[in-house]
Amino acid sequence: MPEKKADLLQGTLDMLILKTVALGPVHGYGISLRIREVSKEILQVQQGSLYPALHRLEKRGWLLAEWGESDNGREAKFYRLSARGRRQLAEEEQSWYRLAEAVSLVLQTS
């Protein structure tokens, strides 16, 4: 079922966003570009799920947002990491390793 897949990816996407934003303030479009660059185009982030994730993270207080000027002088919404977001990122990284371990186990046993 497609929903199930989205559920599965959600945690992963959140982590990737946090990781990206941790490098410095950036707008949504910039994040989509950076994730694609950093993951060497292997991970195709659905842009449709990027913005809901950004807003959710902002709502949870992990990201802070403010309006600023982009490189080409246009008004854009910039995101940066809050202190809580930084802690969350650390946790997410940990659980990512747990997941990776679990998934490999699933693959071995079933």
Partner 1 sequence: MRVPFCRKATREEIDRELAFHLDEAARANRQAGMSVAEARRQASIALGGREQTAQQLREVHGSVLWEALSINTGAALRFLRRSPSFSFAIILTLALGIGANTAVFSAIDAVLLRPLAFPQGDRLVALEQHDDGSKDPETKLAPPRLEDWNRLNHTFGAISGYYTQDVSETAGALPERLQQVLVAPRFLEVWGVAPALGRSFTAEEEHFGGPLAVLISDRLWRRRFGAAPDLAGKHLRLGSSSYAVAGVMPASFSTAFPAHEADLWTPQPVDAPYAQSRESTWYTAVGRLKPGVSLEQARADLAIVQAQLGRQYPRTDRTLHAVLVPEKTLVVGEAGSSLWLLYGSVTLLLLIACTNIAALLLARTAEREQEIALRFSLGASRGAVGMQLLSEIGALALLGAALGLLVAAGAIRVLHQLGKALPRTGEITLNLKLLLYTLGCALLATLVCGSLPALRGTRRELAQALARGSRTQVSTRGRLPWVLVTAQVAFAVTLLVGAGLLLRSFDQLRRVRAGFDPAHVLCFQISGSWGETADMGRLTQRVDQTLDALRATPGVRAASTAAALPGTGGAAPTAFHLSEGEQDPDRQVLADSRFISAGYLATMRIPLLRGQGCRAGDPVPAVLVNRSFATAYLMGSDPLGRHLQLAAEPSYATGAAVRGVVADAREQGLNQAPIPTVYWCVEAGTPFPYYLVRTEGDPMAMAATLRAVVHTLEPGRAVYAVSPLADSLSDTELENRLRTTLLTLFAATAIALASLGIYGTLSYLGRLRQREMGLRLAVGATRWEIARRFLRQGLRVAAVGSCVGFALGWLGSHLLAGMLYGVAAADPATYAGTALLVAMLALLASAAPAWRAARINPVEVLREQ
Asked if 56 touches partner 1 (CB under 8 A), the answer is yes
On whether the CB atoms of residues 22 and 81 are closer than 8 A, the answer is: yes
Nearer to partner 1, 28 or 85 (CB): 28
Query: Which range binds partner 1 by CB under 8 A, 1-9, 17-25, 35-43?
Result: 1-9
Q: Which of 13, 53, 10, 19 lies closest to 38, judged by CA?
A: 19
Which contacts of 92-95 are long-range, i.e. CB under 8 A and separated by 24 or more positions? Answer: 92/11, 92/14, 92/15, 92/18, 93/15, 93/19, 95/11
Q: How far is the CB of 60 from partner 1 (least distance, A)?
A: 9
- In this chain, which of 18, 20, 26, 28 binds partner 1, going by CB under 8 A? 28
Please give the residue ranges that form the binding site for partner 1 (CB under 8 A).
Answer: 1, 3, 8, 11, 27-29, 32, 46-49, 51-52, 55-56, 59, 70, 74-77, 91-92, 95, 98-99, 102-103, 105-106, 109
